[in-house]
Amino acid sequence: MGSSSSSYAPKTIYLDVDGKVQKVGPNPVQTLFMCPPFSLLPPSRHNRNTAIMMVDPEGALVSIDPTMPTNSPKAFRINELKTEVTNRLAMLEKRVELEGLKVVEIERCKNDLKKLRDEMTSRGGGRVNCPCKYNFDDGKKVTPRRDVPNYPKYTLSQETIEALKKPTFDVWHWEHNEMLSCLEYMYHDLGLVKEFNMNPITLKRWLVNTNYRNNPFHNFRHCFCVSQMMYGMIHLCNLQEKLTLTDMGILMTAAVCHDLDHPGYNNTYQINARTELAVRYNDISPLENHHCAVAFQILSLPECNIFANVDPEAFKQIRQAIITLILATDMARHGEILDSFKQKVDNFDFTNEEHVTCLKMVLIKCCDISNEVRPTEVAEPWVDCLLEEYFMQSDREKSEGLPVAPFMDRDKVTKPTAQIGFIKFVLIPMFETVMKLFPQIEEIMVQPLRDSRDHYEELKQIDDAMTEVEPILKKASLALSSTSKAYKLKVHYVVLVQYI
């Protein structure tokens, strides 16, 4: 039974006797009623006409006799609330259980995907995909820098402006922002901004967003080299007088975009490794098709569309012409394109659209592989950059069990052997063919190629001589080493005899 030390506070108790409610106040004799509800006298001890009631904290009468029905409205409301709370708790518990299962499943799927990715990477050396900066399968667009580009406006000196028009321009002395300003100047100088009614801010933003990867060779500086050489050839060959401004806009824009998002591994690797690009483009110029796709994905953004004010029909033709030029940079098509140009060059007609298109394809090819036209101190570092990229690819091909081209194998190629064949059989024949149409390029472009060929042939002769002499030097070294040992033995023998 309870006592004054009970944890339950005294309660006011009422007895319903024969329909009359009587209050039983707490007092020492009534400590019995200070116990919790339903710990009172058992039902068998109650008078059948007596109902035991108590007052709840809100002042309502509540029956505390489990054998008696509760006829108080408050009692009914409490039961309803209890039922509702119980039901809601059950629903919440079920929901939490379901959500918990979902979380578990999601985490399990994430772990499975991670294991699968790691397994594929370890098995295939990571060559299942050749990662590209732009992915066209997920429907996402590149996010351009929408603010006004913050690279400073450089005021080019007259000396720089003149140098930009020549193949001797040294591209190694310029920072990224300076090269952007030079490209911007070229578009203004050629009258392209006015011709296409370009917003100058849009031109700036487009140039900023035509980003290249940080490859040893196929990077933004290479893009600038090709674009600057195109600008130089336009001036050197007086193309402003022979071609339309639209043609020059196509040439310059194709040069800027021709290697966008290049991954550093050529088409041969893409096809042999069955990369995502090779699969997407069915092994047909996968890189060049990718460069085109990225170029027009960027141009499709209003913030970067330098052709936004061009008539839609005219833009369609410009787009097709740019695609044609970028696809022409695939060296697998070199022979086909050069042969086509050779057939036209002797009777070239600048009013013939087919002739002009072929010329533009040859021009972008010349600019793309024109490093050896430049002075030796400018050209030779590019050879080192190219070989570094070649070796990076051949090392990967070896690790993946793919065929390796001899001219990319670090164990077989040297700088002279890499350049001589390329200059003799690719560069000189192509530039000499262009020279038939534009004789003025011989001194400033063709002759440097011949000089470069002679330079590397001399280096090769030195390398060959060293290769022949090396075994002789090795034998001489061994002989000297043996003589030295014999002399030492003789000295030791003499000393020993003297000692004895």
Annotated binding site for AMP: 218-222, 259, 368, 419
Binding residues for Zn(2+): 222, 258-259, 368
Q: Active-site residue 235, yes or no?
A: no
CA dist 228 and 182 (Å) reads 9
CA dist 286 and 291 (Å) reads 9
CA dist 369 and 217 (Å) reads 12
CA dist 490 and 229 (Å) reads 70
Q: Are 326 and 367 in contact (CB under 8 A)?
A: no
First to last CA, the chain: 123
The residues, ordered by sequence, that sit 6+ positions from 69 with a Cβ below 8 Å of its Cβ are 63
Q: Are 208 and 182 in contact (CB under 8 A)?
A: no
283: three-class secondary structure by DSSP: coil
471: three-class secondary structure by DSSP: helix
CA dist 251 and 363 (Å) reads 8
List 218, 290, 291, 355, catalytic entry? 218
Q: Are 230 and 251 in contact (CB under 8 A)?
A: yes
Task: Dig out the tokens for 401 from the structure.
Answer: 């069990």
CA dist 480 and 476 (Å) reads 6
DSSP 8-class letter at 312: H
Task: Dig out the tokens for 404 from the structure.
Answer: 């390796």
Binding residues: 218-222, 258-259, 368, 419
β-bridge pairing 61-63 and 50-55:
antiparallel
CA dist 169 and 32 (Å) reads 110
The values of phi and psi at residue 179, to 5°, are -65, -40
Q: Are 261 and 291 in contact (CB under 8 A)?
A: yes
Q: Look-up: residue for tokens 């996402």?
A: 140
DSSP 8-class letter at 126: T
Q: Which residues are catalytic?
A: 218
